A and B are shown apart, each in its own frame.
Chain A
């Protein structure tokens, strides 16, 4: 699986490269600044890009902007965005084209290597992986998702964090069949017509972010 990395801190860039190589990924380019990122993404068309939000020269959000720009050129380009802090606002911007293949995690999640690599694969496969903290921040607001039961909200949260039905079932100690029942309830309560399951999952997360 071909990967492009954008991270300005040498320590983290090299660490990330080594970590991914150890898990059999092929790191085709690792850039350390914003302007070099977009050409690298468009040139390599990687299977996944792992991008730090804040990059030189302005140290604001050029990583995020480059990711969004690249996805405008290559729709559905899988992008995993890393940051020292997470903002639901950014998550919404990333998802605004309503296609999958989006991850948004705190940098410290890398320390749980297994789970991080799983998130990378999840996003590369067109799924989503949102940091529990993004989800937690959104849950402080109650109004728009009021129609959902506590249990359904919990399931939606796991979907946003990028878990499969099987993983959700294992976490909540219920069967996969019950999970899909909950998911169907969520979809119908959020007014989503039956369609291809993956896309609906993304839309549900988007609605969650947008609410």
Chain B
């Protein structure tokens, strides 16, 4: 670590400590507020509202601690169980949801010890560098007070001007030590908070189940909508055309003796119709599972896709085997969607796609040199990608500063099968 990064880390930790001290002082009133809310919760109407509000405050306070923990690299996830259906309108259920969530009690039981630890460690972390700083900055004061009863550091009181001068090196040492110790104190504080504020194994499972329920519902909805679309496309497209082909040929059969020329014309019409039906079927198949994906896997299919784009797109891929078919398909369509978005909005002149598999995770990066400013909140394209990947526990991250470049990173945990021979 360079000395610059080291001192910056120290300063950040001191600032965070100051913040932690201020927040820790809030703990006691928050705690009292919640207890009052709990005691009053049997009171009709008002009690429920009060408990809800005080719980929101407790959770806000705990969330601040989680954010502070994140700043020193300790991840504390939110452990709260999701609201049961209908809780907004049913006050009884709402109270039960709050009271029965162990995370609520763990939050509350952290408030007081957390305040103590936060306060003590925070004050130490702030005080040491502050004292060091005093030694350096207030040197003139020490010098003028040298003969008076006063002191700094080891010399208490300072007997003469020479000892007063020594405040400078002492101050530097103390400042350095303070900056070195502050991050450790911060880490200790948040590790203590982590004991209370992170999800228990039970809560982890509950959160996981909630996540799976959502993504499964999304996947099933998407699949049902997809089947409905295919049914409609077949019904209105290829099926209807085949009916017309049959009718035209039937008509030609009847005419072939009396008017061979008209029959011939009808047959030509029938052939044109059958070609059109094939075109529609081919487009439909492309939308369900592109043949090139079945034949060449993700890499080949993305290459083929890149060849048909108006933007010059370089594809690099390092996949030693084939992916599971459902993952392959989901990732392919996600990439296709991302590239289509790029074509629509980015005004890029060049783009690139990188595909690799590392540590059990498939990573696909899609970048372009366009105007940037892509916002996942706007438009359905990026949300669709997230949903597609979510069914496989995959994620998508978007970096798109205004002015570009835009980089979409998709990650999906999955295994590779051995390459086909």
Q: Which of A60, A90, A92 contacts B420 (CB 8 A)?
A: A60
Are B295 and A141 closer than 8 Å at their CB atoms?
no
Are B291 and A85 closer than 8 Å at their CB atoms?
yes
Whether, in the assembled complex, B296 has its beta carbon less than 8 Å from a beta carbon of chain A, the answer is yes
A172-B93 Cα distance, complex, nearest whole Å: 78
Whether, in the assembled complex, A142 has its beta carbon less than 8 Å from a beta carbon of chain B, the answer is yes
* Known A60-B420, A141-B310; contact A84-B275, beta-carbon cutoff 8 A: no
Q: Is the interface of A mostly helix, strand, loop or mixed?
A: loop
Residues of the B chain whose Cβ atoms lie less than 8 Å from the Cβ of A140: 308-310
Whether, in the assembled complex, B304 has its beta carbon less than 8 Å from a beta carbon of chain A, the answer is yes
Q: Which of A84, A88, A108, A112 contacts B304 (CB 8 A)?
A: A88
A141-B308 Cα distance, complex, nearest whole Å: 7
A54-B294 Cα distance, complex, nearest whole Å: 10
Are A137 and B308 closer than 8 Å at their CB atoms?
yes
Residues of the B chain whose Cβ atoms lie less than 8 Å from the Cβ of A11: none
A89-B309 Cα distance, complex, nearest whole Å: 12
Q: Is the interface of B mostly helix, strand, loop or mixed?
A: helix
Residues of the A chain whose Cβ atoms lie less than 8 Å from the Cβ of B309: 140-141
A144-B309 Cα distance, complex, nearest whole Å: 12
* Known A53-B295, A60-B294, A89-B300; contact A108-B275, beta-carbon cutoff 8 A: yes
Whether, in the assembled complex, B112 has its beta carbon less than 8 Å from a beta carbon of chain A, the answer is no
A61-B420 Cα distance, complex, nearest whole Å: 12
Residues of the A chain whose Cβ atoms lie less than 8 Å from the Cβ of B271: 111-112
CB of B241 to closest CB in A, whole Å: 13
The 7 A-B pairs at the shortest CB distance, nearest first, are namely A89-B304, A61-B295, A60-B295, A108-B278, A85-B291, A88-B307, A87-B304
Question: What is the interface of chain B, defined by CB distance below 8 A to chain A?
Answer: 271, 274-275, 278, 282, 285-286, 291-292, 294-296, 300, 303-304, 307-310, 312, 420
Q: What are 20 contact pairs spanning A and B, CB under 8 A? A: A54-B291, A60-B295, A60-B296, A60-B420, A61-B296, A84-B285, A84-B291, A85-B282, A85-B286, A88-B307, A89-B296, A89-B300, A89-B303, A89-B307, A111-B275, A137-B307, A138-B307, A140-B308, A140-B309, A140-B310
